[in-house]
Amino acid sequence: MKPLFLSLTAILLMFSCKQGPKTTETAQEPIAQLTTSSQEGKKLLETKCYVCHNPSLGENQQRIAPPMVAVKAHYLDVYPSKEAFVNGIIDFVKSPSQDKSMMRGAVRRFGIMPTQQFPEDEVRKIAEYIYDYRIDEPEWFQDHWMDRRGDSLYNKGNKLEETPKNNDPKEMGMQFATETQKVLGKNLMGTIQRQGVEQAVVFCNERAYPLTDSMATHFNAKIKRVSDKPRNPNNKANKMELVHIESFKKDLVSGSGIDPIWFEENGKVQFYYPIVTNDMCLNCHGKPEENIVSNVLENIQRLYPADQAIGYSTNEVRGIWSITFDVPADSNQ
């Protein structure tokens, strides 16, 4: 079975090494504030790509894709202009192949990404942000790159202006949701990569709750994933959560954009954010025989006899994050 370890939340831009001009100049780091489009690109990068391209993992820790800064470095090596850089990424994502790859070592280690349909507008915003700004990189990467390539401009771009944290409830809720999603996604994709899609159902059955609970403990919050069509009956949405699910569905269909829903009540913040399907989700949540192969369906029926979470297409609200935490002392609501 081909490794299916990419989700929309993880664009595996893995390319083989093509040499370009080298420099040992010191990278320019102009201080800049994000434009609206750059804000969207940064958010997409962090919530989608970093699920697999985690910049915080050590060099020898188990990872399922190279860090995104490695992608940036190889692309800048070949495409120094912004237009060529962005178009090169978009072209690969539309139709990934070894002929287009620029990181042969990454392809040997992780495999080539499967062809999937990604919104071009999102890919463009991610690529533009990566080109324009310095992005997160593991502590080990600079030495790794300099030892092999001697190019100090591999992560050039504007340096973001540091703004003090103000314990904004909305930002806190988004952090709790996205960080938990990263942990779940990284472990799920690793399982798929090593053992195939059929084991993804087993992983969710055995590991999803413990991992979510560990993140809840870490953030001192109550973190749930709930749905109007749950796979596990314990994930059934309550009346209020059902109302928010329907609201997110309407927003998604209208194309008006999706913002978190949150409010303060009795000293607690109630936070809600949608879980939206992508192509990878359909391996376990799509249509039987069309998206879900027989052995995966057998595992679902065996482990979840009351399952309702099938029949989805891409870009549909499958459920929501429902998160509760204490109102921060210096909240700037």
317-326, strands of its sheet edge to edge: 221-226, 317-326, 268-276, 261-265
C-alpha to C-alpha distance for 11 and 197, rounded to whole angstroms: 18
Q: How far is CA 54 from the centre of its chain?
A: 9
The alpha carbons of the chain give a radius of gyration, in whole angstroms, of 20
Q: What is the structure's pLDDT at 146?
A: 87
Q: What is the DSSP string of 47-63?
A: HTGGGTS-TTS-TTS--
CA angle 102, 103, 104 (to 5 degrees): 110
12-16, 182-186, 271-275: the lowest-pLDDT one:
12-16
DSSP 64: S
Summarize pLDDT for 200-249 with one digit per residue, the tens. 899 899 999 999 999 999 999 999 999 999 999 999 999 999 999 999 99
Q: What is the structure's pLDDT at 22?
A: 39
Question: Which domains, ranges and CATH numbers included, belong to the chain?
Answer: 31-160 (1.10.760), 169-326 (no CATH)
Q: What is the structure's pLDDT at 34?
A: 60
Q: What is the structure's pLDDT at 92?
A: 87
Cα distances (Å, whole numbers) of residue 94 to 152, 217, 255: 30, 39, 22
Summarize pLDDT for 107-140 with one digit per residue, the tens. 887 777 666 667 888 899 999 999 999 998 888 8
